[in-house]
Amino acid sequence: MSAWLTALPSLRWLALGLWGRDLVLQPGGSLAPEGLPSRPVLTPTHLLLPDDLPVPQGLDLHQLGRAAIAHAVAHLKYSKPSVPSAGLKPMSVALISALEDARVERLLLRDHPGMRDWFLAPLRLAVQPEGVGFAALISRLDLALMDPNYRDGHPWVQKARTLFEAQAADLHDREGFRQIALNLVHDLGQTRVAFRPGQYQVSAPYRDDNTFLWHHEVSSADPPPEQALHVPQQRQPQALDQPAGGAAAEVLAEEVALSQHHYPEWDHRLSLLRQDWCTVIEKLPPWRHASKLVHPVSAVPIALKRSLHLNGGRRLRRQAEGDELDLNAVVEFMVEHRSRRSAESRFFTRRATADTPASILVLLDLSESTNDPLGDGGQSFLDLEKRATLMLADAVHARGDRIAVHGFSSNTRSEVSYYRLIDFGAPIDGAARTVLSSAPGRHSTRLGAALRHATASLAEESNDLKAILVLTDGAPSDIDVHTPHHLVEDARHATHAARSAGLQVHGLVVDPRADTYARRIFGWRNYHIVENALTLPTRLCGLYRWLTAA
């Protein structure tokens, strides 16, 4: 039996009295993503009250319910529902929503000032006074905007409060509060406050999850008509110094969809591989307007230069049969076996001849977060991973191996953008550098789908040693996935599939907190946490040297 049944009659009368119309109150099961606390869900006619809504200590269900009703009615009376979120970052959506929550509550309190205590009690219990992450700062701001006696020493909270109070002279100006939120998001970006969409939840338990406010477009699996143009001559750009004019310039300024591929996705909660669940779209980036990257030959480490001249054979690891045991693979096999998880039995090494080349595919994370600057130098992770990859490409070509550089980002499962920036056998010339430099950083990081497509590409290579090197700055995420660990488990499944096909998969993660999810995805000793991002070029080349060591 739902815990709400005894409270519903009085709450329905409250909603009718405040709104003047019936609001259907519907109790139900858990409405939150896995690992997050439940929140009410508001629609234009219903308020869904989850059975597992957390009731803070010191409050009862009726007190929490009346605050939820008052807040929902405030949205129904003063908010504009289903506003398009196109063009907004997830952090911007969350902060605009938080200011909208405070704005409508202020408007409701003009007519019903006695309700302030209804909101204050749960806000005080939800505040994280010492936290400096995004969720903690929002909880502090929520209380600051409702309690005039609350004092907060954080400069960002103080600025937000000052801007809000100045705008509060006209609480009906939604656009004014939206601009304040965008200004505050910029400040959070400058101070490197991280935001993980799949790990954020509205702090106050009586407030709804804000889905009432937004309309999120979900891309179709089919590309728009202008992307379906067949332009094979753009696959290998030529004459970069020649200007383009007229309609041709318009086409070249946009990405071009070259092909579509459908891949499954692993649902770890159901132990189910959902077939044809993700659409990977190979695209050509708008290379015409890109600036060329500087040739990084001088940056190749001395130790790597020396290794290029080794004449001996190389030791191939993780082979199905061979001369000796690969101790790292054996240890990983025993860990997986004792954990009762599926484990591959490729744990031998054998020596290949010196003239047997390797095929290396570097897979770049091109998500929005890669645009963030590193330190005070202004260089972004996106710039750094491109330069590191060019350094590696020079080293690989000098040794006679084969290399490809691909990149990916995602905008829901229907649009995983995949860029073949440098393909196997292509020269590392000015055209290749220009295409690589044009790769955009945007959207999210659906790693599993990209890994499956990279595996299919690398499987066509005939060399004995084939490896995928993933460069990323964080855990997999996407805006249509609200369950923590879902995309981590899917990426792990894709990694196992690649290794079963005879490929090596290694991850270089520029995130000091990546140990848990990186180990889960890539396995023990197959991931490398780069705490100092500026060392990424050296670490990448060092990983290649280790893979191809004799």
Domains of the chain: 8-215 (no CATH), 280-313+355-547 (3.40.50.410), 314-352 (no CATH)
What letters, b where the CB count within 10 A reaches 16 and e where it falls short, cover 287-320? bbebeebeebeeebeeebeebbeeeeebbbbbbe
Return the DSSP state at 361: E
Of residues 84, 87, 91, the one with CA closest to residue 369? 91
- Are 81 and 52 spatial neighbours (Cβ–Cβ below 8 Å)? no
46-50 β-sheet, strand order: 24-28, 46-50, 41-42
Distance separating alpha carbons of residues 360 and 463, to the nearest angstrom: 10
CA 161, 166, 167: angle at the middle one, nearest 5? 100
Give Cβ neighbours of residue 498 (< 8 Å, ≥ 6 apart): 451, 452, 454, 455, 468, 505
Assign residue 183 a region (left: φ > 0; alpha: ψ between -120 and 50; beta: otherwise): alpha
- Are 91 and 195 spatial neighbours (Cβ–Cβ below 8 Å)? yes
pLDDT of residue 31: 52
pLDDT of residue 240: 32
pLDDT of residue 310: 39
Looking at the DSSP bridge assignments, the partners of residue 365 are 408
Taking each helix axis as running N to C, give the angle between helix 155-167 and helix 174-190, from 0 to 180 degrees, rounded to the nearest 10: 170
Looking at the DSSP bridge assignments, the partners of residue 509 are 472, 529
Distance separating alpha carbons of residues 481 and 298, to the nearest angstrom: 43
Return the DSSP state at 424: T
Of residues 255, 294, 285, 544, the one with CA closest to residue 420? 285
Distance separating alpha carbons of residues 257 and 204, to the nearest angstrom: 43
Distance separating alpha carbons of residues 204 and 371, to the nearest angstrom: 31
Q: Which residue has the tokens 């119309």?
A: 21
CA 364, 369, 370: angle at the middle one, nearest 5? 40
pTM of the model: 0.50
pLDDT of residue 253: 46
- Are 108 and 115 spatial neighbours (Cβ–Cβ below 8 Å)? yes
Assign residue 167 a region (left: φ > 0; alpha: ψ between -120 and 50; beta: otherwise): alpha
Strands 46-50 and 24-28 turn out to be: parallel
358-365 β-sheet, strand order: 256-267, 272-284, 416-422, 402-410, 358-365, 465-472, 504-509, 527-529
For the chain, 550 residues long, the average pLDDT of each consecutive 10-residue run is: 78 92 80 70 89 88 94 96 90 95 96 95 93 93 96 94 96 95 90 80 93 73 36 34 36 66 90 91 68 43 45 60 74 75 69 67 92 75 90 84 92 92 85 83 92 92 88 89 86 93 91 86 87 86 78
- Are 526 and 507 spatial neighbours (Cβ–Cβ below 8 Å)? yes
Distance separating alpha carbons of residues 491 and 515, to the nearest angstrom: 15
pLDDT of residue 225: 37
- Signed CA dihedral, 252, 404, 344, 495: sign only: negative
Give Cβ neighbours of residue 194 (< 8 Å, ≥ 6 apart): 133, 134
- Are 57 and 49 spatial neighbours (Cβ–Cβ below 8 Å)? no
Task: Please state, as a whole number, how many other Cβ atoms lie within 10 Å of the Cβ of residue 270.
Answer: 8
pLDDT of residue 33: 57
Give Cβ neighbours of residue 332 (< 8 Å, ≥ 6 apart): 343, 523, 524, 525
Burial of 266 (0-12, 13-18, 19+ CB in 10 A): buried
Assign residue 20 a region (left: φ > 0; alpha: ψ between -120 and 50; beta: otherwise): left
